[in-house]
Amino acid sequence: MFQVSDLSGKLLGEFEARETEILGSDPNFSRKVTTWPADLTAPGSYTAVAVIYDKKGKELGRVAPRLVSVNMKQGY
């Protein structure tokens, strides 16, 4: 689950990461992907936190994910 908040900490929305991308040839190395509406937040005016749960639904931790814009080119 990803939680998007404004800079004062007000929760703007929660978005379940349903899509899984396998990275490389090892199916155990994957990442979760989600999206939210572009008009939900202005660039630079929000934070996103990934909430990680175990299979029983118990929260395991929270991390600040790496955000990537659509069609963003990596590198310089």
Contact 19, 34 (CB under 8 A): yes
User: What's the rounded Cα separation, in Å, for the pair 40 and 37?
Assistant: 5
User: What's the rounded Cα separation, in Å, for the pair 39 and 4?
Assistant: 13
Query: Model-level pTM greater than 0.85?
Result: no
Give the pLDDT of residue 70: 63
Q: Compute the CA torsion angle 16, 18, 22, 28 (nearest 10 deg).
A: 80
Tens of pLDDT, residue by residue over 6-59, are 999 999 999 998 888 888 888 888 888 888 888 898 878 888 898 998 989 999
Write down the domain spans for the chain: 2-63
